[in-house]
Amino acid sequence: MASERFIEAGGLRMRYFEEGSGPATLLLHGASLGSSADVWAGNLHDLASHGLRVIAPDLPGFGMSDNPEDVSVGFRAKSVVAFMDQLGIDRAHIVGHSQSGQIAVRLALSQPHRIGKIVVLGTASMLPPVEDASDEGDEAETAPPTREQIKEQLLATTFDASKVTSEAVALRQRMSAGKNFEAFLARRAAKGKEKRMDSKPLWQRLDEVKVPMRLIYGRQDRAAERRAALARERYPSIDLHLIDRCRHLVQWDSPAQMASLVGEFLAPEAADRQIAGARE
């Protein structure tokens, strides 16, 4: 059973869930309003069963973690390292959903000695762009969303409507109010500044990533199939998987297949096989 815990990291109080033992594996939620570690609640056990110590934190400004002064993706990446330090984790795998796929890639590029492997899950901005598809974080709320608005948003990001339960909607609404809505407004006000600072889009730097990397997308998510084809043209050896009957919330739509793809890639025995193969 996953346990809910709190820790202070980088001067911020952060909530996280943890289950299992083995190589530390951080599950990072996306940046949509209402996102939190709870998005992984149905996946922790299956991933831990692959011999992984699975840890899902609320990133700063989300869930029940404190709001930071710096709302940038870059700061969130730094907070992941601070979180690892506070837990005494020298090296971890990272699974980044939606905008947190950027965090996984940023850390793989800047601190590869701290990162084992990374999984990019449903991160549109890690694929070549197409004209009629948007990337993460394009919400335009001016007030905390109503329950009906939350339900519509979740239905738009899932293929299986049965996953959008009244409990899921109520939880998402709670995580969209108060200090979390304030953090959302701050992120939206700062949007675009980091893009201007980056000299090169991260999707154009995937061949610079030296740690093992796997990309996973829902086939029915925001032009994912077309963008995946472009990525394969640019990077012929890319480890990219499309899961059918999935939209953006892949971990909800297809939890078993997602856990299998992630688990087989990150599991300790997979690393042992790679080492054995290299010795032959």
For each of the domains in the chain, give its residue range(s) and CATH number, in order of start.
3-279 (3.40.50.1820)
For residue 279, the model assigns a pLDDT of 35
CB-facing half-sphere around the CA of 88: CA atoms within 13 A: 0
User: Cβ distance 37 to 17 under 8 Å?
Assistant: yes
Question: Taking all residues of the chain, what is their mean pLDDT, rounded to a whole number?
Answer: 92
Q: Over 60: is that where the pLDDT of 260 sits?
A: yes
Q: Over 60: is that where the pLDDT of 278 sits?
A: no
Give me the residue label for tokens 């032009």: 223
For the segment 146-203, what is each residue's pLDDT rounded down to a tens digit?
999 999 999 999 999 999 999 999 999 999 999 999 999 999 998 866 655 567 899 9
User: Cβ distance 64 to 15 under 8 Å?
Assistant: yes
Alpha carbon distance 174, 176 (integer Å)? 5
For the segment 103-150, what is each residue's pLDDT rounded down to a tens digit?
999 999 999 999 999 999 999 999 999 987 666 655 667 899 999 999
Average pLDDT over residues 96-109: 98
**161 φ, ψ to 5°?**
-60, -25
Select the more confidently predicted residue: 269 or 178. Answer: 178
Per-residue confidence band for 270, with pLDDT thresholds at 50, 70 and 90: low
273's enclosing H/E stretch is helix 268-279
For the segment 55-77, what is each residue's pLDDT rounded down to a tens digit?
999 999 999 999 999 999 999 99
Sequence length of the chain is 280
Q: What angle do CA 72, 75, 78 make, to 5 degrees?
A: 155
Alpha carbon distance 156, 133 (integer Å)? 14
Q: Over 60: is that where the pLDDT of 277 sits?
A: no
For residue 132, the model assigns a pLDDT of 72
